[in-house]
Chain A
Amino acid sequence: MAQHTVTVRGLVRQFGDRRVLDDLDLVVRQGEFVALLGRSGSGKSTLLRVLAGLDREADGETTVNGTVSVAFQQPRLLPWRRVWRNVSLGLHGVDARSVADKALAEVQLTDHAQAWPLTLSGGEAQRVSLARALVREPDLLLLDEPFGALDALTRLAMHRLVDDLWQRHRPSVLLVTHDIDEALALADRVLVLDEGRIVAEHTPPVGRPRRHADLTELRTRVLADLGVTLDEAA
């Protein structure tokens, strides 16, 4: 059996009286792409922060095997460092420039290596952020609603890019999102988080790239898990 990249058991995170994560269990297998769906306030970002090591106040057992990298909702680039430096800074013992150039080529931003981050569009900045996360060759890639601030067309292009990069590098991925279509298009497994627990699990059809038409029925079921019936939605 393949080793698990993430093993979480009985995870509890409390802010005051509020249990944001309530006895949560989660396993992410090596090379698996897992999407975590939930409304705002369901605890999905808190879970990601715990896995990233940014929140050390949680109780329970959390094991992450290997290195972790994160792409956040905002690209969080250093505006005073050129794009290629943003990709390679913090890497040690490598030829920074060539490693950065290779990563930027993968996200089709070779021409922007020398640019200042503030000159990039939202989609370009997010691609730099992805390149920066991937160049560290993480065993676990955490994506915190990284396409939430992008327009619909750019978001679709980003989905293809992430799918592509994941197939090439095969890290385990945990994608936190509230976009059902995004989750269904990309993930091997879609988990629905509500009130700090995983309340449902779905497995989209295996083939990639997935066609929207094949997902209609599953989409309805996931929506129901999130407490939205189509009558209501209409």
Chain B
Amino acid sequence: MLSGAWRWLSPVGLLLLWQIASGTGILSEDKLASPTKVLAAGIDLATSGQLGDAFVVSLRRVLLGVAVGAVIALALGLTAGLSRWGAVLVDPPVQMLRTLPFLGLIPLFIIWFGIGEEPKIALVALGFAFPLYLNVYAGIRDTDPQLLEATAVLGFTRWERLLHVVLPAALPQALVGLRQGLGVAWLSLIVGEQINADAGLGYLINNARDFLRTDQVVVGLVVYAGLGLATDALVRALERKALRWRNTP
């Protein structure tokens, strides 16, 4: 068997090819800077504090958007999942709105919220809320009826059934929704930051584009990718902790 280390062979090879192509002039710097230049630009932006500032601004937008989206999605998901009337009243409009391409709402958001922080946060919130809502609702609906029946016979109160049966049963699915939602949240941020941003990673990238600094553009993209991976790892860690009852040998 080949060891896991060999899996690095082709990525590193591609990186080397990229470097060679840049060094020999086949790949012009206007189109794409070489890996070493990107690295240098990254160190440069980091030491000057520009990257850190942009990072903080973008992270704040995502956190606020996710917080707002989570409140909305949980409120709607719990309402629809836990009451028959809630499902009748809440689910149809949410399902209809879901079919809208929400990134297409940007013009409306600019009219409603202007061009400051609000439309960016609203876009993140909206992108995050749909996957979370759908999964919370589905998770609650899929609660094993046999467990509900058994606990009813055993004298659980309504509140105990909610706390010990319904919510834990919905948690795995809700965490799937969290992960999907965070993926969409980063995407929404990247798109949202294209609108008139005067700070943040999107601003950094746009600025670099104006000066044909492809090295700085790539640095911005790498940071976006890193943030996406980091939040994914965070949710996985949360999953391992919250769902440890099913990972035991």
B is a partner of A: yes
- Residues of chain A having any CB pair with chain B under 8 Å: 52-54, 68-70, 72, 74, 76, 78-81, 89-92, 116-119, 132-133, 136
Question: Which A residues are in CB contact (< 8 Å) with B169?
Answer: 80
- Give Cα A7 to B150, complex, Å: 23
Report B51-62 CB contacts with A as 1/0, cut-off 8 Å: 000000000000
Q: Are B153 and A79 in contact (CB under 8 A)?
A: no
Residues of B within 8 A of A136 (CB): 154-155
Contact between A80 and B248, CB atoms less than 8 A apart: no
Contact B245–A118 (Cβ < 8 Å): yes
CB distance from B166 to the nearest CB of A (A): 11
Q: Are the CB atoms of A79 and B246 closer together than 8 Å?
A: yes
Query: What is the bound-complex CA distance between A81 and B248, given in angstroms?
Result: 13
**Residue of B149, B150, B151 ringed by the most chain A CB atoms within 10 A:** B150
Q: How far is the CA of A182 from the CA of B51 in the complex (A)?
A: 74
Known: A72-B146, A76-B146, A78-B147. A90 touches B245 (CB 8 A): no
Q: Within B120-165, which residues are at the interface with A (CB < 8 Å)? A: 146-147, 149-157, 160, 164-165
**CB of B183 within 8 A of chain A?**
no
B156 touches A90 (CB 8 A): yes
Residue of A nearest to B147 (CB): A76
CB–CB A78/B248 < 8 A: no
Contact B146 A78 (CB under 8 A): no
Q: A78-B165, A89-B160, A89-B164 are in contact. Are A118 and B246 (CB under 8 A)?
A: yes
Contacts of B149 in A (CB 8 A): 54, 76
B168 at the interface (CB under 8 A from A): yes
A-B contacts at CB below 8 angstroms, number:
61
B249 in contact (CB, < 8 A): yes
A74 close to B245 (CB less than 8 A):
no
Q: Report yes or no: A78 in contact with B168, Cβ–Cβ below 8 A.
A: yes
**Chain A residues near B147 (CB-CB < 8 A):** 76, 78
Interface size on B, residues (CB 8 A): 23
- Chain B residues with CB under 8 Å of chain A are 146-147, 149-157, 160, 164-165, 168-169, 171, 243-246, 248-249
Chain A residues near B165: list those with CB within 8 A.
Answer: 78
* B245 x A54 contact (CB < 8 A): no
Residue of A nearest to B151 (CB): A90
B119 CB to closest chain A CB, in angstroms?
Answer: 40
Q: B160's closest neighbor in chain A, by CB?
A: A90
A116:B245 contact, CB within 8 angstroms: yes
Looking at chain A's contact residues, the main secondary structure is loop
Q: Distance in Å from the Cβ of B182 to the closest Cβ of chain A?
A: 23
Closest 8 CB pairs of A and B: A76-B150, A80-B168, A90-B156, A116-B245, A90-B154, A80-B245, A90-B155, A70-B153
B146 touches A74 (CB 8 A): yes
**Which of A74, A90, A91, A133 counts the most chain B CB atoms within 10 A?**
A90
Chain A residues in 8 Å Cβ range of B168: 78, 80-81
Closest to B148 in A: A76
Whether B164 pairs with A81 at a CB distance below 8 angstroms is: yes
Complex: chain B residue closest to A67, CB-CB: B155
Instruction: Give Cα A53 to B149, complex, Å.
Output: 10
Chain A: CB-nearest residue to B168: A80
Judging by beta carbons under 8 Å apart, are A70 and B248 in contact?
no
Q: Are the C-beta atoms of A118 and B248 separated by less than 8 Å?
A: yes
Complex Cα distance A72/B149, Å? 10
Known: A78-B164, A80-B245. A54 touches B154 (CB 8 A): no
Q: For residue A69, give the distance in angstroms from its CB to the closest CB of chain B.
A: 7
* A74 CA to B147 CA, complexed, in Å: 10
- Chain A contacts for B152, CB-based, 8 A: 54
Question: B residues within 8 A CB of A133?
Answer: 154
Whether the pair A116, B248 counts as a contact (CB closer than 8 A) is yes
Task: Tell me, in angstroms, the Cα distance from A70 to B151 when the chains sit together.
Answer: 10
For A81, list chain B residues within 8 Å (CB).
164, 168, 245
Minimum CB distance partner of B144 in chain A: A76
Interchain nearest-CB distance for A31 vs B (Å): 21
Residues of B close to A69: CB separation below 8 A: 153-154
Decide: A68 and B146 in contact? CB cutoff 8 A: no
**A224 CA to B129 CA, complexed, in Å:** 64
- Judge whether A52 and B164 touch: CB under 8 Å: no
Complex Cα gap A52–B165 (Å) = 20
